[in-house]
């Protein structure tokens, strides 16, 4: 007899059912992209208003990204404990409240504190969204669905670029840029309240009646054949674990599951996102330092993200054709090479924009496949926190990257060598991924290879917390 999880994974795809969850989850991801891209647009404007140095401008992105790192850890674990649905809504509400408060900041340091707190809320969106969307997606389409979820990212960055450029003539333009996205975020929070809880999560938590209610509704709404199924009894866990202890147990759980897989996931996430966030955060400033005006500098980042929309769509097709590992392993080093080329042709008339566009396209082939891949590497009890820890490690590293990039690497090494060093780090991570982690194309969500992963079992007297 099939399990409830197998029933969900074998359902036909319906836009009115799983597609609705995909769209609502993707809109939250759009806000994540919008907010991170906004750091790059805010940095030169805040630098002008508050008279900031390059390193102080870097703190604008650092405060926000470190907050997201904290949020990725905290909310990944909360989602595995209290459910995807609650965390799905609350993360966006926290982001909206602190974003609107930041728009009224009278001082630079208060602004940084509020941007950190907004990041704590928004940092939870990606691990929670990917866990929920992945657990509702049929196995046949899951790779494409999770990869297509990333199309919301370049859409968000492009939208941010267009809106920010349009607001440049306004007095207090950076305040309007922050306030603009608050109302849509609150509306999305309200819409998210109607999303059902993940039946895979409910079954894993032993909430059989609730799981059956959601599964039966999905079967009816998708028009699938009704057949009997079982809800296996979950492994016993200690749900009294809270706070810092829970975070420590999450970390132990993902490393106990498989040190090879977890190390590969962390390295790939950290190096790829380090390159991407360095480019995203500093591109407007780099172009301004080359003598371009605000509008032209903002256009370069907008072009990078606009071309990235095409990259995501291509990645959605390729991810199930060539596999996750090949797609990530080839496109990530090539994307970094495009940044090196950008730095080398900076003085030429149109070549820098071409290099930026190539980087945006290649990087958006990489990132969607990477997100789908890492979310599939872990079993249900560890999925949100496994993804959340990988995301948080990259957020911590990339959080300090804007500060180090502006105060140390760029001034001392120059742009070509700086991007070259980042490229070598990406290449090393790709080599380790090829050796240490399995391909997940076509694999069931909780299927693991004996050679690469150990079963998830509670340690004596302790819980394997997710």
**Would you say residue 416 lies in a domain?**
yes
* Tokens found for residue 363: 């990087």
> Across-strand partners of 47?
none
| Residue percentage of the chain with pLDDT more than 70 | 90
Residue 446 included in any domain: no
Q: What is the mean pLDDT of the segment spanning 371-394?
A: 80
Of 116, 121, 129, nearest to 74 (Cα)? 121
What is the rounded distance in angstroms from the CA atom of residue 253 to the CA atom of residue 196?
27
CATH number for the domain that contains residue 190? 1.20.1250.20
Angle at 363 between CA 250 and CA 157, to 5 degrees: 85
H-type alpha helices, 123-151 = 125-136, 139-148
Asked if the model's pLDDT at residue 438 lies above 70, the reply is yes
Is the residue at 278 inside a domain? yes
Residue 465 inside a domain? The answer is: no
Q: Measure the CA–CA gap between 253 and 463, rounded to whole angstroms.
A: 9
Task: Render pLDDT for 15-63 as a digit per residue (tens, 0 to 9).
Answer: 999 999 899 888 877 877 888 889 888 988 898 888 888 778 888 888 8
Q: How many CA atoms lie within 13 A of 248 on its CB side?
A: 6
Q: Give the whole-number percent of the chain exceeding pLDDT 90.
A: 30
Which sign does the torsion angle of CA 413, 417, 423, 424 carry? negative
The pLDDT of 409-432, averaged and rounded, is 90
CA dihedral defined by 168, 172, 174, 178, rounded to 10 degrees?
A: -120
The predicted pLDDT at position 454 comes to 45
pLDDT tens by residue, 195-242: 888 888 888 888 899 999 999 999 999 999 999 999 988 766 554 445
Phi, psi of 83, deg, nearest 5: 115, 150
What's the DSSP call for residue 408?
A: I
What's the rounded Cα separation, in Å, for the pair 386 and 256?
A: 11
Phi, psi of 292 (to 5 degrees): -85, 155
Mean pLDDT of the chain: 83
Residue 106 per-residue DSSP state:
S
Number of residues assigned to the chain? 466
Residue 155 lies in a domain: yes
Count how many domains the chain has: 1
- Grouping H, G, I as helix, E, B as strand and the rest as coil, residue 230 is strand
Per-residue confidence band for 376, with pLDDT thresholds at 50, 70 and 90: confident
443 DSSP 8-state letter: -
CB proximity list for 366: less than 8 A, separation 6 or greater: 272, 315, 327, 328, 331, 332, 335
Query: Does residue 73 have a pLDDT over 90?
Result: no
Strands, DSSP E only, in 383-440?
none
Quick one: which of 372, 375, 369, 335 has its CA closest to 355?
A: 335
Residue 237 Ramachandran class (φ > 0 left, ψ -120 to 50 alpha, else beta): beta
Average pLDDT over residues 405-419: 81
Quick one: tokens of 59?
Answer: 């703190």
Please report whether residue 358 resides in a domain: yes
Residue where the block lists tokens 């780099």: 286
- Report the pLDDT averaged over residues 319-348: 92
Question: Looking at residue 461, what is its pLDDT?
Answer: 33
Q: Which residues pair with 149 in a beta bridge?
A: none
Q: Is residue 122 part of a domain?
A: yes
Q: Is 49 helix (H, G, I), strand (E, B) or coil?
A: helix
446 vs 464, residue with greater confidence: 446
User: Cβ-count burial of 416 within 10 angstroms (0-12 exposed, 13-18 middle, 19+ buried)?
Assistant: middle
Q: How confident is the model at residue 408 (pLDDT cuts 50, 70, 90)?
A: confident
Q: Residue 404 class from Cβ within 10 Å (0-12 exposed, 13-18 middle, 19+ buried)?
A: middle
pLDDT in tens, 108-139: 999 999 999 998 888 777 777 777 788 898 98
Rg over CA atoms, the chain: 22
User: Is residue 445, in this structure, part of any structural domain at all?
Assistant: no
Please give the pLDDT value at position 244.
53
Q: Which residues contact 101 (CB under 8 A, 6 or more apart)?
A: 114
464: pLDDT strictly greater than 60: no
Q: Nearest 5°: CA angle at 360, between 355 and 365?
A: 125
Contact 446, 5 (CB under 8 A): yes
Mean pLDDT: which of 228-237, 249-258, 351-360 is highest?
A: 351-360
Close Cβ partners of 246 (under 8 Å, ≥ 6 residues apart): 77, 81, 465
Domain span including residue 44: 2-231+243-436
pLDDT score at 466: 28
Q: Say how far apart CA 91 and CA 121 lie, in whole Å.
A: 4
Mean pLDDT, residues 182-204: 80
Residue among 192, 125, 162, 395 at smallest CA distance from 276 = 395
* Eight-state DSSP code of residue 332: H
């Amino acid at each position: 007899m099939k399990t409830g999880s197998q029933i969900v994974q074998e359902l036909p795809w319906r836009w009115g059912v799983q597609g609705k969850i995909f769209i609502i989850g993707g809109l939250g991801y759009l806000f994540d992209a919008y907010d991170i891209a906004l750091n790059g647009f805010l940095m030169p404007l805040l630098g002008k208003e508050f008279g900031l140095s390059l390193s102080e401008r870097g703190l604008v992105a650092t405060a926000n990204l470190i907050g997201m790192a904290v949020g990725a850890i905290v909310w990944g674990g909360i989602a595995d404990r209290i459910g995807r649905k609650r965390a799905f809504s609350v993360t966006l509400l926290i982001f909206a409240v602190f974003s609107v408060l930041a728009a009224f900041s009278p001082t630079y340091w208060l602004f940084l504190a509020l941007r950190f707190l907004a990041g704590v809320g928004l940092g939870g969106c990606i691990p929670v969204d990917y866990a929920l969307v992945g657990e509702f997606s049929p196995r046949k389409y899951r790779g494409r669905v999770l990869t297509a979820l990333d199309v919301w990212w370049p859409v968000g960055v492009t939208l941010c670029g267009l809106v920010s450029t349009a607001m440049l003539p306004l007095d207090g333009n950076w305040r309007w840029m922050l306030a603009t996205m608050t109302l849509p975020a609150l509306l999305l929070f309200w819409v998210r309240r109607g999303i059902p809880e993940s039946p895979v999560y409910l079954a894993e938590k032993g909430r059989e009646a609730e799981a059956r209610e959601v599964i039966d509704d999905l079967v009816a709404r998708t028009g699938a054949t009704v057949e009997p199924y079982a809800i296996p009894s979950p492994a016993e866990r200690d749900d009294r674990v809270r706070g810092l202890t829970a975070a420590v147990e999450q970390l132990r759980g993902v490393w106990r599951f498989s040190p090879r897989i977890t190390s590969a996931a962390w390295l790939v996430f950290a190096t790829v996102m380090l390159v991407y966030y360095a480019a995203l955060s500093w591109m407007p400033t780099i172009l301004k330092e080359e003598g371009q005006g605000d509008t032209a500098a903002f256009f370069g980042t907008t072009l990078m993200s606009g071309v990235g929309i095409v990259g995501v769509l291509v990645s959605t097709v390729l991810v199930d054709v060539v596999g996750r590992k090949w797609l990530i392993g080839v496109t990530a080093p090539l994307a970094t090479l495009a940044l090196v080329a950008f730095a080398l042709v900076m003085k030429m008339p149109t070549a820098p924009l071409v290099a930026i566009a190539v980087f945006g396209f290649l990087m958006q082939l990489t990132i969607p496949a990477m997100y789908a891949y890492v979310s599939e590497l872990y079993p249900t009890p560890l999925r949100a926190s496994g993804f959340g820890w990988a995301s948080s490690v990259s957020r911590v590293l990339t959080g300090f990257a804007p500060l180090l990039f502006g105060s140390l690497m760029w001034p001392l090494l120059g742009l070509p060598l700086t991007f070259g060093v980042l490229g070598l780090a990406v290449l090393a991570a790709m080599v380790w991924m090829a050796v240490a982690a399995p391909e997940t194309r076509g694999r069931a969500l909780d299927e693991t290879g004996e050679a690469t992963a150990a079963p998830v079992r509670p340690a004596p007297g302790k819980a394997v917390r997710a």
